[in-house]
Amino acid sequence: MLEARYTPRAPRVHTAGGAVRRLALHGGADLDPTEDLLLDLGAGGMKLLTGRPIHAGDLLDVALSHPALRGAVTLAARVVWTRPSPTHPGYLEAGLTFDGLRDTTRVALEQVIGAELGSQVLCRGRGQVGWVAPGQDGATWFVYDLERREVARILADAGGFRAQRRVGRAEQWSRDLERLIDALAWTLEQPSELLETSPPVSGGGPGRAPRSGDSSRGPAAG
């Protein structure tokens, strides 16, 4: 499991007290006030959602821990931009860039990113239409839009899959769907026969083997 934390560097950072802030990988409509949300992570930087003051130019120390890494990796990060969150009033989205990243660390990060932050959802003829990431319980998938905002969750059950998506402030539930790719199609409002994931996502669910035509037929990661 990926663990991420950041610590503001005094005196250039305006966050109160310089406290360590934990970054959660997935969040719903109600955010834990003690945590910030990791919206995106790349080899060159990351994007987070925070309810605390943060400003362009601020310097942060980011610590990442994962079984694929040899101990915690501390990265020097700089806030490049901030903007009000369109989905969480009172919160800010912030884009950070990593400074002085070594090649070995970059390779390790790329492996962790692929394992933890999910796969691209691709629609033939349109390109990428979203992201999908597995939950830790093996029975939940988180669906994101292109801005890495969570838009839906897919749950595996005895009947196959059910999906929950947000439309404005309302929530909608799908009927029972046989395949994970069908649930992705419903959440993103795309034809299932045109969708695939990269890297491939296994869609069998607990105790179910992936079926022919499922999202596991996606191309290799690029």
3-class SS string, 68-94: CCCCCEEEEEEEEEEEECCCCCCCEEE
Please report which confidence band the pLDDT of residue 14 belongs to, taking 50, 70 and 90 as the band edges: very low
Are residues 202 and 176 part of one domain? yes
Query: Does a structural domain hold residue 222?
Result: no
Lowest mean pLDDT across 19-28, 68-77, 145-154, 164-173: 19-28
Query: Does a structural domain hold residue 142?
Result: yes
Are residues 137 and 63 part of one domain? no
- Whether the per-residue pLDDT at 221 is higher than 70: the answer is no
Are residues 86 and 58 part of one domain? yes
- Whether the per-residue pLDDT at 215 is higher than 50: the answer is no
Domain span at 212? 118-217
Are residues 163 and 92 part of one domain? no
Average pLDDT of the residues in 73-85: 89
173 is written with which tokens?
């539930």
Tens of pLDDT, residue by residue over 199-214, are 787 654 332 323 333 3
Are residues 132 and 92 part of one domain? no
CB 35 within 8 A of CB 23: yes
Are residues 94 and 132 part of one domain? no
Are residues 104 and 149 part of one domain? no
Average pLDDT of the residues in 116-145: 85
What pLDDT is recorded for position 6?
Answer: 64
Residue predicted with more confidence, 30 or 186: 186
Are residues 66 and 144 part of one domain? no
Are residues 111 and 208 part of one domain? no
Choose one of 91, 115, 139: the last residue of a domain: 115
Average pLDDT of the residues in 115-119: 70
Residue predicted with more confidence, 110 or 33: 110
What pLDDT is recorded for position 60?
Answer: 87
- Whether the per-residue pLDDT at 94 is higher than 70: the answer is yes
Residue predicted with more confidence, 218 or 10: 10
Are residues 122 and 111 part of one domain? no
What pLDDT is recorded for position 11?
Answer: 36
Residue 84: burial class (beta carbons within 10 Å; 0-12, 13-18, 19+): exposed
Residues 6 or more apart in contact with residue 40 via CB below 8 angstroms: 46, 47, 117, 148
Tens of pLDDT, residue by residue over 189-201, are 999 999 998 878 7
What pLDDT is recorded for position 200?
Answer: 80
Please report which confidence band the pLDDT of residue 118 belongs to, taking 50, 70 and 90 as the band edges: confident
Choose one of 99, 115, 131: the last residue of a domain: 115
Choose one of 58, 85, 115: the last residue of a domain: 115
The DSSP symbol for 196 reads E
Tens of pLDDT, residue by residue over 20-66, are 555 555 544 455 666 778 777 777 888 888 888 889 998 888 887 77
Are residues 128 and 106 part of one domain? no
What pLDDT is recorded for position 208?
Answer: 32
Are residues 76 and 124 part of one domain? no
* Residue that is written with structure tokens 């296994």 in the block: 202
What pLDDT is recorded for position 22?
Answer: 55
Q: How many domains does the chain have?
A: 2
